[in-house]
């Protein structure tokens, strides 16, 4: 009598999941966090450090700032240039390139230099 062998089942399902994932597409980088539209609606209601996901619309190397557009909108229209709203991020580290999908950890600060009268002062930027 053969012993029960779960191994082939695991292999078969894993293979299928991989195939499905490949065709279904991991094409667009996955990112987690609050969305730009959510933050823009009521920025000062967020207290302490928050994580915001989005696409980089413009990066201003000299000033250590970049603009972040809504992740979902970017994912659906695949362009960072048509966004109606965005967040200005101040970041002292290496700036991400235009079009990059990022997760920004930072705090909201009142600042007239930013879109909507606030900026997100970033402690960390993860490029996805």
Binding site for other proteins (CB under 8 A): 1-6, 8-9, 12-13, 16-17, 19-21, 23-28, 30, 34-35, 37-42, 44-48, 50, 72-73, 75-77, 84
CA 82, 92, 43: angle at the middle one, nearest 5? 50
Residue 38 C-beta: closest distance to other proteins, Å: 3
E strands, 18-100, where?
A: 34-35, 50-60, 65-70, 86-90
CB of 25 to other proteins, least distance (A): 6
What residues contact residue 99 under an 8 Å CB cut-off, 6+ apart? Answer: 55, 56, 80
- State in angstroms the smallest separation of the CB of 95 from other proteins: 26
- Using a 10 angstrom Cβ sphere, with 0-12 exposed, 13-18 middle and 19 or more buried, the burial of residue 70 is buried
Is 53 or 65 the residue whose CB approaches other proteins more closely? 53
Q: Which is nearer to other proteins, 26 or 92 (CB)?
A: 26
């Amino acid at each position: 009598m053969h012993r029960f062998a779960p191994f082939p089942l695991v292999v078969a399902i894993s293979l299928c999941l991989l195939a499905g994932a490949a065709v279904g597409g991991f094409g667009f980088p996955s990112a987690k966090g609050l969305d730009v539209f959510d933050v823009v609606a009521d920025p000062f209601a967020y207290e302490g450090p928050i994580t915001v996901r989005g696409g980089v619309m413009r990066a201003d190397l000299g000033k250590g700032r970049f603009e972040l557009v809504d992740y979902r909108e970017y994912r659906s229209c695949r362009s960072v240039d048509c966004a109606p709203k965005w967040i200005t991020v101040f970041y002292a580290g290496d700036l991400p390139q235009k079009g990059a999908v990022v997760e920004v950890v930072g705090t909201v600060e009142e600042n007239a230099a930013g879109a909507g009268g606030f900026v997100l002062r970033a402690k960390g930027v993860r490029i996805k």
